[in-house]
Structure 1
């Protein structure tokens, strides 16, 4: 743990100042001449250590977690209750069954993490393959304080040497987890494989030195377009980018919803649940709802949806107001006649906007744009590689939509209302992340049976 106030920074969302010590670049690089600390630690022991760390994180008397929550409440747009829930909910990932299943889903043969796995191809060539411990730089996201916990766990599972660049919206949770692990055993190989620091994104004095293949294999980057573009300029031979770039999630509601009042109420409640995830800050939170309806039917649905959105689901009380630009956009649409209809108020508590085409701004803070279409197939033109999760109602329509959604670039289809926690070990952003993290190494050892010479 290094403390100091050599550099003063400003948090992204609320503009709160915080100080960090001077960055010692030499301390952040693990020489390639030295083997990774976790290389020969059995995966089972790593999982046991992560599980113990998760239990310590859940301890109400953990001073690092409590300090983290206090500090995050000062710099985050999320209310304290949501921050506390998100951090403690993230510890559910540190469960033995969960971590084991994640590994098994990412690797056809998890033995490759622990040893050189032998194989012989059909021509008799012998070889050994290993999922070798990588050297990773992580550019962490600022919209979910639990991602630091998850990223540390995933990196430990692949035995990586890691440098975590923390976001200005959360320079605390990753440190809290690392300090908790260090209290268990400061010399444990998991602890010795992790460093977490903050620097201002785009600071070339740091990035042009660290983001090099001499020191790291890959950068694992989360964030908005500007953050990803900044990292991408350093990518070259030997230094790869694994990008979790900006995503937008949507909902699709079929005409069957109008068969009964109960169906409308059910769909609106499920829809509102998906929209409200982390106050619509998360990538999985729905922003656009495409509904098979005429304008009158869509207005009927929007009125109920807006009511459901305005329910306080987190106990946060009075929400922060919408940004002035977004509020003005919504109020302008309210005045534009039949092409648009606005239900609810632009006050951060929840609003539904009906239109025939998607609005040209990014819905935030419990704002849903409900787009009426004659058939859900018409919505496919709005699906692209930035479309992450698609919630569908009624559920039986999912099978008929999934191929078209995948062709458009979408990455996940779920029942409406289930956009939140995903199935354990499933692909994330159209890939198996841990499988991509590792450095795949082959050792070829000759041929057991040689072919006769050609005649």
Structure 2
């Protein structure tokens, strides 16, 4: 399906829509200004409808309950006003006066959003960010969306018909590169949520003058150096690992212990496994536990065959596993509730994490209260962009940046106009 000019159209109309899209976009940008208040009112109304359960049946097909709740919480006036204030200032539309020039803040122009497949609500939220900054938005839907984003965009245009000229969405497979290239050619900025392969592919498609705005894959971890409330903290970390399936950029891939003792690493694995099993036992869905077990054992067998499993200790559980590894590198885990545990004394934390510079995201910190400030500062210096409690690693917080940046600032441009003498 296609969403264009406030209407849902069949995919058979794609060629016709693409052929006239540049003319439509140019007409909108020449004559229309989209004010934040219009967007805030419409998104707030959409959020209320979502929170009333209007789209729950459809959204539940593509979003886990936790992610759906976060999307609903983010789509409200108060949260978005805080975002605008934090990222652009309370009066960002007001021109800035300087001695010889006036600086005007304008939209980047037209944004192509390539939505991720692992967090389906991000496509809609990315478009909302584009609307808040006054841009025309083209959304390439992920394959697994199943109409949820199209339904939300329809409701948004229903709440504020003036948004219709700024919203387009295409259920377009990535294999159809010519149509993707046609969309990219219209964009002043290409917003991509994906790994290195997806980013490289878009670099090939985007025209030279387009700004490539990458929200690429990141790696996150937990760091354990003592406890404030051991049972609560380990339970929270286990529930986070299982609930996210370790598929998100903010998911815990490795648990680092502030120690040099590999024996302590193995003792932690033995202690943590029951917490992970309890969390895994609450997992729902056909074959979820079997898939987790298969992922863990496949990863172990591959490492054995490749001769990379020397020194490892594997602790299998029911629908999950914990693996102690002797190295100190941050890496991707086997996922699905199969977590890695390694020693990383704080004296080696910064030089070790710096080897993943540009790919770091969230650190879930578990430590004694007296240590929290110092360890937080050390993690921040190492390049981590989010520091949370371990159970909250994938929670969204109003006003937070994204991968160390304020996203709205990447969707605007500054136009300097010389003053009359």
In the alignment, does 2:382 pair up with 1:436? no
Q: CA distance change for structure 1 residues 37 and 311 in 2, over 3 Å: closer, same or farther?
A: farther
Provide the secondary structure at the position in 1 that maps to 2:403: coil
Question: Aligned-pair distance for 1:427?
Answer: 1.7
Residue pair 1:4, 1:22 contacting (<8 A) in 2 also = no
TM-score when scaled to structure 1? 0.79
Q: CA distance change for structure 1 residues 397 and 26 in 2, over 3 Å: closer, same or farther?
A: farther
Question: How many angstroms apart in 2 are the aligned matches of 1:329 and 1:420?
Answer: 24
In the alignment, does 2:160 pair up with 1:192? no
Question: How many angstroms apart in 2 are the aligned matches of 1:174 and 1:32?
Answer: 21
Query: Which residue of structure 1 lines up, in the alignment, with residue 242 of structure 2?
Result: 276
Query: Which residue of structure 2 lines up, in the alignment, with residue 343 of structure 1?
Result: 315
Question: How many angstroms apart in 2 are the aligned matches of 1:84 and 1:416?
Answer: 20
Question: How many angstroms apart in 1 are the aligned matches of 2:273 and 2:209?
Answer: 50
- Of 86, 90, 108 in structure 1, the residue corresponding to residue 71 of structure 2 is 90
Residue pair 1:2, 1:21 contacting (<8 A) in 2 also = no
Residue pair 1:37, 1:190 contacting (<8 A) in 2 also = no
Question: How many angstroms apart in 1 are the aligned matches of 2:190 and 2:137?
Answer: 10
Let me know the Cα RMSD of the aligned residues: 3.1
Residue pair 2:59, 2:68 contacting (<8 A) in 1 also = no
Question: Aligned-pair distance for 1:196?
Answer: 0.9
How many residues were matched structurally? 405
In the alignment, does 2:15 pair up with 1:44? no
Residue pair 2:189, 2:210 contacting (<8 A) in 1 also = yes
Question: Aligned-pair distance for 1:326?
Answer: 4.9
Question: Aligned-pair distance for 1:328?
Answer: 2.3
Question: How many angstroms apart in 2 are the aligned matches of 1:65 and 1:191?
Answer: 23
Question: How many angstroms apart in 1 are the aligned matches of 2:28 and 2:377?
Answer: 44
- Of 214, 218, 237 in structure 2, the residue corresponding to residue 247 of structure 1 is 218
Per-residue CA deviation, residues 347-384 of structure 1 (Å, 9 max, x unaligned), is 6x321111111487643111110002344534641442
Query: Which residue of structure 1 lines up, in the alignment, with residue 419 of structure 2?
Result: 445
- Of 203, 211, 231 in structure 2, the residue corresponding to residue 265 of structure 1 is 231
Residue pair 1:251, 1:289 contacting (<8 A) in 2 also = yes
Q: Which moved more, 1:371-380 or 1:202-211?
A: 371-380
Question: Aligned-pair distance for 1:323?
Answer: 8.3
Q: CA distance change for structure 1 residues 221 and 206 in 2, over 3 Å: closer, same or farther?
A: same
Per-residue CA deviation, residues 8-61 of structure 1 (Å, 9 max, x unaligned), is xxxxxxxxxxxx96673135446564343995344223211111111122333x
Question: How many angstroms apart in 2 are the aligned matches of 1:24 and 1:326?
Answer: 46
TM-score when scaled to structure 2? 0.85
Question: How many angstroms apart in 2 are the aligned matches of 1:65 and 1:253?
Answer: 37
User: Equivalences for 1:284-303 in 2 at 5 Å?
Assistant: 284-293=250-259, 294-303=261-270
Query: Which residue of structure 2 lines up, in the alignment, with residue 9 of structure 1?
Result: none
Residue pair 2:364, 2:387 contacting (<8 A) in 1 also = yes
Question: How many angstroms apart in 1 are the aligned matches of 2:350 and 2:105?
Answer: 44
Per-residue CA deviation, residues 175-223 of structure 1 (Å, 9 max, x unaligned), is 12112223435xx2223211111222253311332222xx221000001
In the alignment, does 2:151 pair up with 1:160? no
- Of 46, 58, 62 in structure 2, the residue corresponding to residue 67 of structure 1 is 58
Provide the secondary structure at the position in 1 that maps to 2:278: coil
In the alignment, does 2:277 pair up with 1:310? yes
Q: CA distance change for structure 1 residues 30 and 414 in 2, over 3 Å: closer, same or farther?
A: farther
Q: CA distance change for structure 1 residues 378 and 356 in 2, over 3 Å: closer, same or farther?
A: farther
Provide the secondary structure at the position in 2 that maps to 1:141: coil
Question: How many angstroms apart in 2 are the aligned matches of 1:93 and 1:334?
Answer: 44
Query: Which residue of structure 2 lines up, in the alignment, with residue 170 of structure 1?
Result: 145
Query: Which residue of structure 2 lines up, in the alignment, with residue 365 of structure 1?
Result: 336
Question: How many angstroms apart in 1 are the aligned matches of 2:148 and 2:203?
Answer: 26
Residue pair 2:114, 2:139 contacting (<8 A) in 1 also = yes
Query: Which residue of structure 1 lines up, in the alignment, with residue 120 of structure 2?
Result: 145
Higher-Rg member (1/2): 1
Provide the secondary structure at the position in 2 that maps to 1:142: coil
Residue pair 2:253, 2:332 contacting (<8 A) in 1 also = no
Q: CA distance change for structure 1 residues 279 and 67 in 2, over 3 Å: closer, same or farther?
A: same
Q: CA distance change for structure 1 residues 32 and 2 in 2, over 3 Å: closer, same or farther?
A: closer
Query: Which residue of structure 2 lines up, in the alignment, with residue 222 of structure 1?
Result: 193
Residue pair 1:201, 1:227 contacting (<8 A) in 2 also = no
Q: Which runs of 5+ in 1 are unaligned?
A: 7-19, 73-81, 448-455
Q: CA distance change for structure 1 residues 25 and 392 in 2, over 3 Å: closer, same or farther?
A: same
Provide the secondary structure at the position in 2 that maps to 1:297: helix
Provide the secondary structure at the position in 2 that maps to 1:420: coil
Query: Which residue of structure 2 lines up, in the alignment, with residue 327 of structure 1?
Result: 297
In terms of fraction of residues, the more helix-rich structure is: 2
Residue pair 1:277, 1:285 contacting (<8 A) in 2 also = no
Question: Aligned-pair distance for 1:166?
Answer: 0.8
Residue pair 1:334, 1:341 contacting (<8 A) in 2 also = no
Question: How many angstroms apart in 2 are the aligned matches of 1:389 and 1:86?
Answer: 17
Q: Which runs of 5+ in 2 are unaligned?
A: 1-6
Q: Which moved more, 1:91-100 or 1:172-181?
A: 172-181
